[in-house]
Amino acid sequence: MSDKSDKNERFTHNDVQVVAREQCFKGFYSIQKYHVKHRLFSGGWSNVIQRELFVRHNATCVLLFDPVRDKVVMVEQFRIGAIREANTPWLLELVAGLNGEGEAPGEVARREAIEEAGCEIKELIHICSYLPSPGGSSEKVDLYCALVDSEGIGGIHGLEDENEDIRVHVIDWTEACDMVKNGKINNAASIIAIQWLQLNEAKVREAWSRRS
């Protein structure tokens, strides 16, 4: 039996056995229960363990950045996942949306920027892909930074048939950074994107200045 205690040797799907899978709930999202066993770092196999998996569509989030005016465009909306937050369940977030069947993440970013913020994307930079909650959710997020013109952007947006009620904010770039620092922006995608832009600001500005 293999021993993968060597830190340089990585486990793969071949090191997991799905013994059984149950459908617990199916709606817009679904919940499945997996019965699995997996190889151990010290060698051998685990006992069969049960884990519920929240099955979500993959999503795309995009930070809309106007380097000319030093602004970022963000959206505010009610989030049920924040219903127990002490301050408010309305969060300041990136433009974001679920990926449709066969829809590329870059296409989602452009579509959602128009739907949620009335804003047209000029250029896109892919920041990363990440799993926001792999302990219990299948969702993967593609994160982008986009070049936009923030002049005249604002108002209330969203699709009525999706019960969206979205308020657009155009925020000074330095203020957005401060809002991450003081916890006023408290969701993962926004924090990751803003901190990425802080690290890469000079490079992004230089690249986009050559395109203008």
CATH number, domain 59-211: 3.90.79.10
Q: What is the mean pLDDT of each run of 10 residues along the chain (212 residues)?
A: 62 96 94 97 96 95 97 96 91 96 95 96 97 96 97 90 89 98 96 98 90 62
Q: How far apart are CA 189 and CA 128, in angstroms?
A: 10
Global pTM? Answer: 0.90
Q: Per-domain residue ranges for the chain?
A: 13-55, 59-211
Give residue-wise pLDDT tens across range 118-146.
Answer: 999 999 999 999 999 999 999 999 999 99
Residues belonging to the active site: 162
Cα separation, 210 vs 212, whole angstroms? 6
CA distance 31 to 48: 19
Cβ pair 43, 76 in contact under 8 A = no
